[in-house]
Amino acid sequence: MRQGDWKLEWKATLPSRLELFNLAQAPSEKSNLAGRNPREVAELQQRIEALAQESVQPLFLVDTLGATKHVLFGSVATPDEEEDRIEQP
Instruction: Note whether 71 and 63 are within 8 A (CB).
Output: no
3-state secondary structure of 18: strand
pTM value is 0.58
Pairwise CA distance, residues 43 & 39, whole Å: 6
pLDDT of residue 12: 79
Q: Which of 5-9, 69-73, 84-88 has the highest mean pLDDT?
A: 5-9
49: left (phi over 0), alpha (psi -120 to 50) or beta: alpha
Q: Which residue has the higher pLDDT, 66 or 47?
A: 47
| 7-62 pLDDT per residue, tens | 999 887 888 889 999 999 989 999 999 999 999 999 999 998 888 877 655 555 55
pLDDT of residue 56: 58
Q: Which residue has the higher pLDDT, 63 or 54?
A: 54
Domains and CATH numbers, the chain: 2-84 (3.30.1120.10)
